[in-house]
Amino acid sequence: MNITEAGRTLADPSAYADDDRLYRALSLLRRESPVHWVDAPGYNPFWAVTRHADIQEVERRSDVFLNGPRPMLVTRGADEMNRLREQRNLGLRPLVHLDGQAHRTLRSVTADFFRPPALSRFDVTVRTCAERAVDRMAEHGDSCEFVGQVSDVYALRVLLALLGIPEREHEAVFRFTPAARRSLPPPARKAAMDDFYRYFSRLAAHRRTSPADDLASVIANAHVAGRELTRRETLAYYIIIVAAGHDTASATIAGGLRALIDHPAQLHLLREDPGLLDPAVEEMTRWVTPVKAFMRTAAEDYVLRDVRIRKGESLLLSYPSANRDAAVFERPGEFDIRRRPNRHLAFGFGVHHCLGAALARMEIRAFFAELLPRLVSVEPAGPPELISTTFSGGPKRLPLRCSVGPSRNPGSNGKDSREPRG
């Protein structure tokens, strides 16, 4: 692999489904060209930023490096379509598309909800969801496909609880998640998103007339700068909650379990010392890095690591690369649940640091806190499959054979006393 091929790897979705190829490319870029110009077929060109310190510098300078108009790496045709929609003021603009005051204002809508003290009231709910997820592993045993049957379901149930959506509507909401839409042809994806708009428009209208103690009500009844959110702002908020809240948590839990299976000494260590669970969660998150990249566009000329970035040029921030940077992490290619400190950038950095980071940690921790005391044995039942992507991903399939003991709460009927309300 030469340096040009390494750069183009970042614009190849199949590379993210091949860990060996991806991390060879990222290692080469960090070593030889950490701020590298990439001109890949089918894509508008961009600078690939691959070192931890440089990504932090870009994130700190949010006044210079903007989310818009190119927040994610998509094909040249999709870039042009997005530009036209922006010019015509069409479509939705979730938080990851916003900058400056618009970003700060909209972020403030749910900032208090996602702070750890506020989330603590959902602790029993999340632990109950985790118990039920591990129960599913026990039920499937020798034929468990962990992603589809366990981690996707668990991540969605946690979201349902926070949003206050009743479980009888589980299938309706699952159709809107990235995990479900990936398997659909483009016309069916559009139909699913049209259904999403109708569903959450009705939900917002209901929560305005009958508010509850849930995230859906916080969003539906929000006021910013002395006004209510517009319909498009409200729907954009629900989109980012469903997309970011579901896909990334499921990927990290599945990828974290795969890492423990691949490193049995680490699994043994964690089972022997539950006090290592918090650093283990951080190491799983670093190891998986479910969000692969965000894009930024320079609002003015800027020199980054002696490279002149011109106004209007775009940068790809490679978070998996930052999280394997030997300048920050000792033995970065090793999975080590005792790693401290762990300065990973899987949740981003600066003003765009992931709003739901505390929830993600709570969710991952709850799952493994439930699984580890009940786990008798686990082994692969076939090769894992990773998602082809240039944005967000992790395991697509994780076939397992496992033996899981009974619940530690034998009197539980699997229901939480705080069952979500409609």
Range with the poorest average pLDDT among 9-23, 71-85, 311-325? 71-85
Q: What does the radius of gyration of the chain's CA atoms come to, in whole angstroms?
A: 21
Asked whether residue 187 is domain-assigned, the answer is yes
pLDDT more than 70, % of the chain: 97
pLDDT of residue 306: 94
Give the domain extent around 48: 3-404
Instruction: Say if residues 404 and 376 touch (Cβ distance below 8 Å).
Output: yes
* 7-48 tens-digit pLDDT: 999 999 999 999 999 999 999 999 999 999 999 999 999 999
Across the range 295-302, mean pLDDT stands at 98
Asked whether residue 416 is domain-assigned, the answer is no
**Does residue 187 carry a pLDDT above 50?**
yes
Mean pLDDT of the chain: 92
Asked whether residue 411 is domain-assigned, the answer is no
Helix (H, G, I), strand (E, B) or coil at 79: helix
pLDDT of residue 83: 86
Asked whether residue 387 is domain-assigned, the answer is yes
pLDDT of residue 199: 94
Helix (H, G, I), strand (E, B) or coil at 35: strand
Across the range 50-77, mean pLDDT stands at 96
The pLDDT confidence band at residue 411, using thresholds 50, 70 and 90, is: low
Residue bearing tokens 């340096």: 3
Considering the entire predicted model, what is its pTM? Answer: 0.94
Pairing relationship of beta strands 314-318 and 46-49 according to DSSP bridges? parallel
C-alpha dist (Å) from residue 401 to 207, 308, 381: 43, 52, 5
Asked whether residue 417 is domain-assigned, the answer is no
Q: What is the CATH number of the domain that holds 175?
A: 1.10.630.10
Asked whether residue 414 is domain-assigned, the answer is no
The pLDDT confidence band at residue 88, using thresholds 50, 70 and 90, is: confident
Q: Where are the alpha helices (DSSP H) in 221-333?
A: 231-262, 264-272, 277-288, 319-322
How many structural domains does the chain have?
1
Across the range 180-196, mean pLDDT stands at 84
Across the range 200-209, mean pLDDT stands at 96
Instruction: Say if residues 328 and 52 touch (Cβ distance below 8 Å).
Output: yes
Q: Which residues contact 287 (CB under 8 A, 6 or more apart)?
A: 255, 256, 259, 323, 335
Asked whether residue 413 is domain-assigned, the answer is no
Helix (H, G, I), strand (E, B) or coil at 302: strand
pLDDT of residue 364: 98
Asked whether residue 420 is domain-assigned, the answer is no
**Does residue 417 carry a pLDDT above 70?**
no
pLDDT of residue 418: 36
